[in-house]
């Protein structure tokens, strides 16, 4: 394996990796080291890369085959890539990914991870947070563990569906287009409350407030106090890292072991990142 210069952001979550030039093809040794680093840190960051889309897709394939995301309209000339864009004149609107979520957890087979490549960033704000759900599980109080262990959670594509659609003012602005009011997104998918990452074999909590609505066999109002308690635990700052983007930075995260949150605090400035997704 290749030796990496790994600079942790926090005790458990997130590390910057300095050195590799990802605009060049990644050889097998480096690929193995990068996958290992992702398994160790759940989200890894590469400063000063300035990747074009071809290099971003090549990097994505180091972690798994490229997958396409439903409901979010991709770039017209490349269906593998989503432009995560908020224009300077989109003010007082929601932002794509602006609450804790793990990507498309309501699908039967959610993507294993994503790559985000910063092209243009605001002079301040626009950070992204990740919360490590392996660390959150390890520190879960016994009472909560007993309440969820062996149970399933119902996930629904709330923002895209009909019955749970968010109010207009909370929706993402116009530059990123999403399919709305699709009854298919109201379909309930059952997933284990504690899921296993098929790549690293690590166990992680599988709740997120964007898509997880209740425990299987319980009504939403019955589940709500438990889900609230789990949510307060899973997003404790000790399990999180917060990344300040610079143009040219690339992030790769494990979608099975983390949640993430795009902070919407840069009205009046443009922010543009390319996103690709990988699966098994
Ligand atoms: C996302 O949820 O994938 C977007 C994250 C971000 O824009 O920071």
pLDDT surpasses 80 at 152 = yes
Among protein residues, the one with the nearest Cα to ligand 1's atom 6 is 262
Probe residue for ligand 1, chosen from 121, 246, 273 as the CB with the greatest number of ligand atoms within 8 Å: 273
Establish whether residue 67 lines the binding site of ligand 1, counting it when its CB lies within 6 angstroms of any ligand atom: no
Residues 6+ apart with CB under 8 A from 244: 127
Establish whether residue 128 lines the binding site of ligand 1, counting it when its CB lies within 6 angstroms of any ligand atom: yes
The domain 5-278 is placed in CATH, from the list 3.30.70.20, 3.65.10.10, 3.30.56.10, 3.60.130.10, at: 3.60.130.10
Token pair recorded at residue 166: 């968010």
Establish whether residue 209 lines the binding site of ligand 1, counting it when its CB lies within 6 angstroms of any ligand atom: no
pLDDT surpasses 80 at 174 = no
Probe residue for ligand 1, chosen from 43, 126, 128 as the CB with the greatest number of ligand atoms within 8 Å: 128
Closest CA to 35 of 50, 52, 20, 53: 20
Among protein residues, the one with the nearest Cα to ligand 1's atom 5 is 262
The CA distance from 122 to 119, in Å, is: 10
pLDDT surpasses 90 at 173 = no
Residue bearing tokens 């997130």: 14
Q: Which helix (H) or strand (E) holds 138?
A: helix 133-138
In tens, the pLDDT along 104-123 reads 999 999 999 999 999 999 99
Establish whether residue 129 lines the binding site of ligand 1, counting it when its CB lies within 6 angstroms of any ligand atom: no
- Going by the DSSP 8-state scheme, the letter that residue 176 receives in this structure is S
- In the predicted model, what is the mean pLDDT of the chain? 95
Residues 6+ apart with CB under 8 A from 175: 83, 85, 86, 87, 90
In tens, the pLDDT along 219-238 reads 999 999 999 999 999 999 99
Domain residue ranges in the chain: 5-278
**Contact of 104 with 275, CB cutoff 8 Å:** no
């Amino acid at each position: 394996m290749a030796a990496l210069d790994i600079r942790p952001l926090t005790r458990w979550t997130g590390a910057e990796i300095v050195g590799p030039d990802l605009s060049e093809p990644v050889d097998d040794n480096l690929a193995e080291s990068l996958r290992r680093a992702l398994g160790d840190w759940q989200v890894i960051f590469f400063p000063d890369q300035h990747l074009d889309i071809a290099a971003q897709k090549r990097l994505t394939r180091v972690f798994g085959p490229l997958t396409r995301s439903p409901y979010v309209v991709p770039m017209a000339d490349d269906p593998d890539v989503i432009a995560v864009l908020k224009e300077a004149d989109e003010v007082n609107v929601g932002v794509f990914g602006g609450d804790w979520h793990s990507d498309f957890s309501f699908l039967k087979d959610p993507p294993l991870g994503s790559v985000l490549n910063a092209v243009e960033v605001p002079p301040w704000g626009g950070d992204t947070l990740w919360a490590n759900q392996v660390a959150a599980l390890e520190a879960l109080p016994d009472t909560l563990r007993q309440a969820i262990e062996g149970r399933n959670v119902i996930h629904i594509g709330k923002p895209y569906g009909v019955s749970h659609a968010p109010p207009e003012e909370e929706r993402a602005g116009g530059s990123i287009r999403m399919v709305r009011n699709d009854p298919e997104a109201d379909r309930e998918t059952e997933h284990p409350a504690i899921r296993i990452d098929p790549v690293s074999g690590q166990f992680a909590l599988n709740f997120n407030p964007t898509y997880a609505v209740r425990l299987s066999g319980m009504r939403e109002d019955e589940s709500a106090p438990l889900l609230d308690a789990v949510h307060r635990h899973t997003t404790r700052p000790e399990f999180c890292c917060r990344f300040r983007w610079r143009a040219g930075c690339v992030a790769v995260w494990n979608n099975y072991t983390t949640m993430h949150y795009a902070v919407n605090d840069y009205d009046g400035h443009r922010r543009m990142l390319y996103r690709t997704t990988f699966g098994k």
